[in-house]
Structure 1
Amino acid sequence: MGPMYAVAGALHFVVPDLYVQIVPPIFPARLALVYLSGLAEIAVGIGVLLPRTRRLAAWATVAVLVAVFPANVYMATHGVVVEGLPGGGDPSALVRWGRLPLQAVLILWAAWYTRPLPEPDRR
């Protein structure tokens, strides 16, 4: 899970214009929000890899997923065409709407990482 979030977060800095397009226009400073969410994704991605920060980073991952959910709802409900997206830019309705329940799966995955690490066997 960690590398996936770190790479996804880095992409916010590589192609920020792709992400700005799905931030609902009601939010101010959309580019700044893209960078902030990218930084958060990099941080949680690294954090879940480290035993010392794993649980906190997993809870932070849940928070990030909840925070970006409005962008997924906006994309689904407004049929957002993402200009500059490889392979076109018009994700099918199935893809746009499929991202919504995927968020629940990702939240459950992150929640799994909030469990305490097993104690080492000291026999």
Structure 2
Amino acid sequence: MDKQAIGLAGMLAAMGTLHFVAPKPFDSIVPRQLPGSPRTWTYVSGVAELAVAAAVAYPPTRRAGALAAAALFVGVFPANVKMAVDWRHASPAKRAIAFGRLPLQLPLIAWARRVAR
């Protein structure tokens, strides 16, 4: 497995696991417009990240998994926007984290696309 794929799969697996180990921070950034419980969305997104990680790790499904990872990074962008809006009056450190996550999605998408090739 190439290093790019290992790294992407590992990062997705770690984040997916965190959705179950420490769900509260994820619950807080679920957009209010989504129906149902934020915890349900936290778990659903955790399962999605773990499934995508497995697809990226397995060479026969790597391309599809990496494209799914790119789509996942686009799909979670509204949660990052919500975090930035919610934390706009927080401490400078929290604001830096929240606003820093927004442009971070672009290199994550590019990384997934590189793995897909």
Question: TM exceeds 0.5?
Answer: yes
Matched residue count? 108
Candidates 26, 31, 35, aligned match of 2:33: 26
Of 55, 80, 85, the match for 1:72: 80
**Larger proportion of helix:** 2
Aligned residue identity for 2:81: V
Residue in structure 2 matching 1:52, options 56, 60, 66: 60
Query: Which amino acid in the other structure matches residue 31 of structure 1?
Result: R
Q: CA deviation at 1:78?
A: 2.1
TM-score, length-normalised on structure 1?
A: 0.80
1:6 equivalent in alignment to 2:10:
no
Q: For the aligned residues, what is the CA RMSD?
A: 1.9
Query: Alpha-carbon deviation of 1:16?
Result: 1.3
**Preserved contact between residue 3 and residue 46 of structure 1 (Cα < 8 Å):** no
Aligned to 1:77, the other structure's residue is in SS state helix
> CA deviation digits over 1:15-74, x for unaligned, max 9?
112210011222122211111110010111121111100000001101111111100001
> Which 4+ runs in 1 deviate beyond 4 A?
none
Identity of aligned residues (%): 44
Unaligned runs of 5+ in 1: 82-88, 116-123
CA drift at 1:92: 2.1
